[in-house]
Amino acid sequence: MAILSVNAGSSTLKFSIHPLQDGAVQPAVMTGNIQGLEPGGTPDMRWTLDGRTQQRTLSAGSDAFAAALDGLRSLLAAEAAVPDIEAVAHRVVHGGRSFRSSVQVDDEVLAKLERLNSLAPLHQPHNIDGIRAFRAAFPGLPQIACFDTAFHADLPEVASRFALPRALHDEGVRRYGFHGLSYQYIMGTLLDRSPRARGRVLMAHLGNGASLCAAHEGRSQATTMGFSALDGLMMGTRSGTLDAGVLLYLMERGWNHDRLQTLLYKQSGLLGVSGLSADMRRLRADGSDAAQEAIALFTYRVVREAGAMAACLGGVDLIAFSGGIGEHDAALRADVCAALGWMGVQLDEARNAQAVGDDIVRIDAEGSAVELWVIPTDEGRVAAQAAAALLAAH
């Protein structure tokens, strides 16, 4: 048996299949991605099995997502090496106050999750649409929602509060934190490899979405993202932390909710500052002043927030980089580590240059006061583990 782990976005569907062995979830035997799921798009499915990557263009018809699920269902039936699927684990960004751990989805759960759409508009509606589509396409399988907020569910009270009236806090206006599936995987990987992982750990999930998490004894103590997935670090197209007075100023000038939401989620960050792209790789290749300014600001914000996380922990014993940028951008890691030299961080330049994101690599120099790691994340496996645990408990 196996767990099918999926992450449904606005135009893509990522999937991985994780066998169960003696109740334990194993690394994926198949991974894949279906692109072109936007209205009018042509689904393109690519998957890797036994070291071979294959591609198939699907006939979309009127519903690209339905065509994608038909293609996925046919693929699973045709591949003899793929175990039977026992359940589908869905990455869901926001669990709010109601969901502190994974849950089997029913109509009541979906209704509660839909109320959180405005807190993660780039992700939550598509996560929920994905669950609905999989329920229809795989009616006999349990659908399990696994939450990015769950890893931070036990944040200390002082770390989860905003300085707002108590009534708003009691309604759920508080810091939740995100990227929890990634942080859970990173933390578990570190605990298997380093005694320092039980100490003061700073994890950096740096990609199109970006955040930092401070952990101690394997548990989240502070994180840069808050009530929504907008707070904290500058991101690909999101602003990160912003003076609320800017929003009041724009509202006075006539900006409405939808225009502000588009600005903050889709037109800011690396894209907004550079005017070129949200892709760090393209900005690195571009020699313009605007591109370099965007990179410098991204780096500065990581360093600034890393200092805040270190203060919350009273120091740092280990730093781990992950996410698309954290795993692949050696220059970013070098610049961040240089700026954190005051903490005793010393980078091994050769190891750092060789860490390309496919393997777990330790990159600190001999004598560094802080261990440095590059950990390619695996959110799909964590979601599969959560789904398997939930099924076993029931």
326 is in an annotated binding site: yes
127 annotated ligand-binding residue = no
User: Is 328 annotated as belonging to a binding site?
Assistant: yes
User: Residue 253, annotated ligand binder?
Assistant: no
DSSP state of 210: E
The distance from CA 214 to its chain's CA centroid, rounded to whole angstroms, is: 16
Residue 91 marked as a ligand binder = yes
Annotated ligand binding at 280? The verdict is: yes
Q: Is 352 marked within a binding site?
A: no
β-partners of residue 44 are 35, 57
363 annotated ligand binder: no
Whether 379 has a binding-site annotation, put simply, is: yes
Q: What ranges make up the beta strands (E) of the chain? A: 2-8, 12-21, 24-25, 30-35, 44-49, 52-57, 85-92, 103-104, 143-147, 200-206, 210-216, 219-223, 318-322, 361-362, 371-374
- The answer to whether 380 is a known ligand-binding residue is no
Residue 278's nearest CA partner among 324, 317, 322 is 324
On whether 205 is known to bind a ligand per the annotation, the reply is yes
What angle in degrees, to the nearest 10, is found between the helix axes of 107-114 and 124-137? 160
State the Cα–Cα distance between residues 381 and 394, nearest whole angstrom.
20
- How is 343-375 classified by DSSP, letter by letter? GT--B-HHHHHH--SSS-EE-BPTT-SSEEEE-
Give catalytic status of residue 154 as yes or no: no
What's the length of the chain? Answer: 394
Q: Which one is catalytic: 148, 348, 364, 378?
A: 148
Binding-site residues for Mg(2+), in ranges, read 7, 379
- Could you give the residue numbers annotated as active site? 148
Q: Binding site for substrate: what residues are annotated?
A: 91
